[in-house]
């Protein structure tokens, strides 16, 4: 957001004057950011619930669809988050010097890489599902995928804490 005064259509945010246009964009991107973040967390929670049940054809299909939604939400979240960093909030200099942001961003990237393991597993079920069969998954593999989804949910809690800290200028 810029801090310039544009007479006639400016609004005050925390006592700083910003143009109505930049306020609207900041609000829109904040909304989209939350929408994608909630979708991502919701998808992860659904995956966690499904993977802990006995695998059926229906739950295997649902896991694939949910994982697709998760991937789309994560991709959009990354693009929207970076737009907020560079264009709509406190500026890149602020965020790249914030430890809370760096931890949040680092965890997000780590999650993105780790989530490749469950995604590859779900994709490998395509043949069996097409043939109308329940995918056969070794118990060890299933435990690993469940553990990863669990760890991702735990990491989200830390990401949320970092988000709240960085937004308020803490832990720089
Ligand atoms: C699972 C992933 C993520 C979750 C759950 C999440 C959650 C949040 C939440 C709840 C806020 C609002 C904080 C507050 O105002 O108290 C926020 C703000 C923000 N997030 Fe994220 N976020 C995620 C990923 C990202 C990524 C990947 C980026 C950047 C690449 C990013 C950049 C930002 C920025 C710039 C803000 C605005 C902070 C400010 O007001 O100064 N987020 N995030």
Q: Which pLDDT tens digit goes with each residue over 35-73?
A: 999 999 999 999 999 999 999 999 999 999 999 999 999
The residues near 100 (Cβ < 8 Å, ≥ 6 apart) are 162, 163, 165, 166, 170, 171, 172
Name the pLDDT band for 20 (thresholds 50, 70, 90): confident
Provide the pLDDT for residue 3: 44
Q: What are 13's strand-pairing partners? A: 16
Provide the pLDDT for residue 17: 63
User: What are the pLDDT digits (tens) for 70-123?
Assistant: 999 999 999 999 999 999 999 999 999 999 999 999 999 999 999 999 999 999
- Domain count of the chain? 1
The finding on whether 152 has its CB within 6 A of some atom of ligand 1 is no
In a domain, 1, yes or no: no
In a domain, 125, yes or no: yes
CA 94 to chain centre: 21
In a domain, 71, yes or no: yes
Torsion of CA 80, 86, 88, 93, to 10 degrees: 130
Comparing CA positions, the residue from 54, 52, 43, 118 lying closest to residue 77 is: 43
In a domain, 155, yes or no: yes
Name the pLDDT band for 12 (thresholds 50, 70, 90): low
In a domain, 19, yes or no: no
Pick the residue whose CA is nearest to atom 2 on ligand 1.
Answer: 37
In a domain, 172, yes or no: no
Name the pLDDT band for 31 (thresholds 50, 70, 90): very high
Ligand 1 pocket, mutate which of 85, 104, 151, 164 (most atoms under 8 A from CB): 104
Name the pLDDT band for 6 (thresholds 50, 70, 90): very low
In a domain, 10, yes or no: no
The finding on whether 82 has its CB within 6 A of some atom of ligand 1 is yes
Long-range Cβ pairs for the range 85-91 (8 Å, 24+) = 87/25, 87/29, 88/1, 88/22, 88/25, 88/26, 88/29, 88/30, 89/1, 89/26, 90/1
User: What are the pLDDT digits (tens) for 126-169?
Assistant: 999 999 999 999 999 999 999 999 999 999 999 999 999 999 99
Ligand 1 pocket, mutate which of 80, 81, 97 (most atoms under 8 A from CB): 81
The residues near 139 (Cβ < 8 Å, ≥ 6 apart) are none
The finding on whether 109 has its CB within 6 A of some atom of ligand 1 is no
In a domain, 78, yes or no: yes
Find the domain containing 73 and state its range: 29-167
Ligand 1 pocket, mutate which of 38, 84, 161 (most atoms under 8 A from CB): 84
What are the backbone angles phi and psi of residue 10, rounded to the nearest 5°? -95, 155
CB burial readout 142-163, b (16+ within 10 A) else e:
eeebeebbeebeebbeebeebb
Report how far ligand 1's centroid is from the alpha carbon of 163 (Å): 5
């Amino acid at each position: 957001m810029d801090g310039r005064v544009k007479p006639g259509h400016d609004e005050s945010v925390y006592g700083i004057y910003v143009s109505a246009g930049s306020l609207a964009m900041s609000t829109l991107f904040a909304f989209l950011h939350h929408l994608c973040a909630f979708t991502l967390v919701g998808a992860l929670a659904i995956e966690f619930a499904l993977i802990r049940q006995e695998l059926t054809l229906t739950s295997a299909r649902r896991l694939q669809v949910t994982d697709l939604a998760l991937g789309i939400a994560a991709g959009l979240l990354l693009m929207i988050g970076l737009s907020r960093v560079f264009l709509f909030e406190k500026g890149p200099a602020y965020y790249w010097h914030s430890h809370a942001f760096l931890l949040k961003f680092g965890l997000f990237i780590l999650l993105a890489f780790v989530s490749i393991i469950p995604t590859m597993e779900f994709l490998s079920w395509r043949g069996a599902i097409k043939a109308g069969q329940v995918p056969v998954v070794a118990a060890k593999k299933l435990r690993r995928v469940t553990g990863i989804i669990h760890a991702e949910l735990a990491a989200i809690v830390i990401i949320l804490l970092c988000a709240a800290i960085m937004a308020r200028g803490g832990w720089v």
